[in-house]
């Protein structure tokens, strides 16, 4: 009996030991997996970053564009693009009629709810390759800003801007000063009054960037000293005071289901450098007094016009004195040659002055004004057509005309290799207008395929003929200075992901 009892106890002990060993071999129970959760607070594409209360959206686009008689991402040849000014000569060796650009950019949008409202940061950077007129491979920085408690700071779209042509055309238009394409540095505060009404006060880059360069910088600081001189065929030089303080921008806006409307105003530093014919020893020559420019604008966009879903109509007007960059992005010199001995030119400035010693002239501010608009119609959900255009005029006052046209040869006094023929009239005023239409097919909501046709007209106030020096492949001789036109065609394929 005792033997049987011992055997049973031994067997039980063995079973317990085996069971314990097997339990020791079992894996430790894993913690619950923390799956990514959709964040519905801010629209499609946002999700919670695991372990945080921050919502994230990652977007991107890839664009392939082919351009005929346009360059630099859709700038009509000869229309205010210093980097490709030679193309405006329209010769076999100076001009590439065909150009290409590939551009790609990712974006990151981060948002977190706080006791002061939404804390947001946004970043968009990318790279592009353009050829052959602007044969560059470059990294670009369009947006990088923080928003919190009504404040916005960083690289933003200017609060002066109202309508953007980007959703309705492929061209880099010359009839608007909108900064949406490349952004601008600014610090702003926006007050909310309810019912879609807001008021904003912004301090923005009005000249920290290279003189006359708006892409990648501010509105442009463009004061020309006619004693140097600084006008040339297809180019403009500037004699600016260094960047001292930002532009001040104020805007009043309403956003509702029918669309939006806005009025805005800006103050812009339009002060010059020194008197003199060169920069050497300029400090002893003195300088013109400080000058302030300004700009005002008003505009609107209407949604679902005539009851048609998605259709839009918009208009905007802008007026400036000493602040041309608020009316147009065409801040380079215009140069367009026609067939035979025919040419048209134009120079955009904030103002001009002259003098070689203390007591020279004051700065004469340039008046630049313009009007633009667009309409878009959806034929079907996948097909849409837009019609867009605008007009810009550059006017120099009587004193400025004298400073620019002084000397034996009219504009030759400004440094241009252009001497007016007897009986002709020197007048630096000019204007231009553009009208275009773009038709786009969206076989998928994220894919754009379309064609943009743009007609560009340069109007010059210079009357008669002038003798030009050799200019690239253009031979010297007597040219008729007259209106010119350029027809541009652009084809684009673009993939968008959560823009």
Asked if the structure places residue 350 within a domain, the reply is yes
Q: What is the pLDDT of residues 265-274, one digit of tens each?
A: 999 999 999 9
CB-CB neighbours of 387 under 10 Å: 15
Q: What is the pLDDT of residue 25?
A: 53
Q: What is the pLDDT of residue 306?
A: 87
Please give the pLDDT value at position 138: 86
Cβ contact 430:463 at 8 Å: no
Longest CA–CA span in the chain (Å) reads: 142
Where helices occur in 366-494 by DSSP H, the ranges are 398-405
- Residues with Cβ within 8 Å of residue 168, at least 6 apart in sequence: 374, 376, 386, 388, 438
Could you tell me the residue range of the domain that residue 112 belongs to? 57-497
9 within some domain? no
| Global pTM value | 0.90
Residue 318 to residue 367: CA distance in whole angstroms: 11
Angle (nearest 5°) at CA 109 between 104 and 112: 175
* Residue 224: alpha-carbon gap to chain centroid: 23
In a domain, 412, yes or no: yes
Has residue 46 been placed in a domain? no
Residue 294 lies in a domain: yes
Q: Does residue 264 lie in a domain region? A: yes
Instruction: Give me the pLDDT at residue 410, please.
Output: 80
Task: Measure CA 447 to chain center.
Answer: 23
Condensed to tens digits (0 to 9), the pLDDT of residues 229-253 reads 889 999 998 999 988 899 999 999 9
Residue 28 is predicted with a pLDDT of 56
Residue 33 domain-assigned (yes or no): no
All residue ranges of the chain with pLDDT < 50 are 1-5, 7-9, 11-13, 15-24, 211-216
Give the total number of structural domains in the chain: 1
Residue 349 domain-assigned (yes or no): yes
What is the edge-to-edge ordering of all strands in the sheet holding 334-337? 334-337, 342-346, 477-481, 465-468, 418-420
Q: The CATH number of the domain where 268 resides is what?
A: 2.40.160.10
SS3 state of residue 85: helix
The per-residue pLDDT for range 122-136, each reduced to its tens digit, is 999 999 998 886 666
């Amino acid at each position: 009996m005792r033997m049987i009892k011992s055997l049973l106890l031994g067997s039980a002990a063995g079973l317990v030991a085996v069971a314990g060993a097997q339990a020791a071999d079992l894996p430790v129970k894993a913690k619950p997996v923390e799956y990514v959760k959709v964040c519905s607070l801010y629209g499609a594409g946002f999700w919670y970053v695991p372990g945080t209360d921050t919502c994230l959206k990652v977007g991107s686009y890839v664009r392939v564009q082919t351009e005929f008689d346009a360059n630099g991402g859709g700038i009509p040849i000869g229309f205010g693009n210093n980097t490709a000014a030679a193309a405006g000569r329209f010769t076999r060796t100076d001009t590439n009629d065909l150009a290409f650009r590939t551009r790609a950019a990712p974006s990151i949008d981060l948002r977190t709810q706080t006791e002061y409202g939404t804390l947001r940061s946004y970043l968009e950077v990318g790279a592009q390759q353009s050829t052959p007129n602007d044969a560059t491979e470059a990294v670009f920085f369009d947006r990088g800003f923080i928003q919190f408690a009504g404040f916005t700071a960083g690289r933003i779209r200017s609060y002066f801007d109202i309508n953007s042509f980007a959703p309705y055309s492929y061209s880099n238009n010359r009839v608007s000063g909108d900064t949406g394409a490349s952004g601008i540095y600014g610090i702003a505060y926006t007050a909310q009054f309810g019912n879609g009404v807001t008021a904003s006060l912004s301090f923005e880059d009005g000249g920290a960037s290279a003189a006359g360069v708006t892409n990648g910088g501010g509105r442009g600081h463009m004061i020309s000293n006619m004693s140097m001189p600084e006008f040339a065929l297809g180019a403009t030089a500037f004699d600016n005071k260094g960047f001292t303080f930002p532009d001040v921008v104020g805007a009043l806006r309403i956003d509702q289901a029918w669309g939006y409307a806005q009025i805005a105003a800006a103050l812009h530093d339009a002060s010059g450098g020194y008197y003199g014919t060169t920069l050497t020893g300029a400090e002893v020559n003195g300088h013109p007094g400080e000058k302030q420019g300004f700009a005002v604008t008003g505009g609107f966009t209407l949604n679902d016009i005539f009851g048609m879903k998605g259709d839009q109509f918009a208009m905007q007007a802008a007026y400036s004195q000493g602040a041309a960059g608020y009316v147009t992005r065409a801040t380079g010199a215009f140069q367009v040659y026609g067939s035979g001995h025919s040419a048209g030119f134009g120079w955009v400035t904030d103002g001009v002055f002259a003098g070689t010693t203390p007591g020279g002239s004051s700065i004469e501010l340039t008046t630049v004004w313009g009007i633009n608009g667009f309409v878009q119609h959806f034929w079907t959900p996948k097909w849409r057509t837009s019609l867009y255009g605008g007009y810009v005029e550059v006017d120099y006052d009587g004193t400025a005309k004298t400073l620019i046209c002084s000397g034996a040869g009219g504009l030759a006094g400004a440094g241009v290799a252009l001497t007016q023929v007897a009986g002709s009239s020197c007048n630096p005023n000019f204007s231009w207008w553009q009208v275009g239409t773009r038709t786009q097919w969206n076989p998928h909501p994220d894919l754009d395929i379309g064609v943009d046709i743009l007609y560009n007209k340069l109007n010059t106030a210079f009357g008669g003929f002038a003798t030009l020096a050799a200019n690239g492949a253009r031979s010297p001789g007597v040219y008729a200075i007259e209106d010119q036109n350029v027809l541009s065609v652009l084809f684009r394929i673009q993939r968008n992901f959560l823009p």
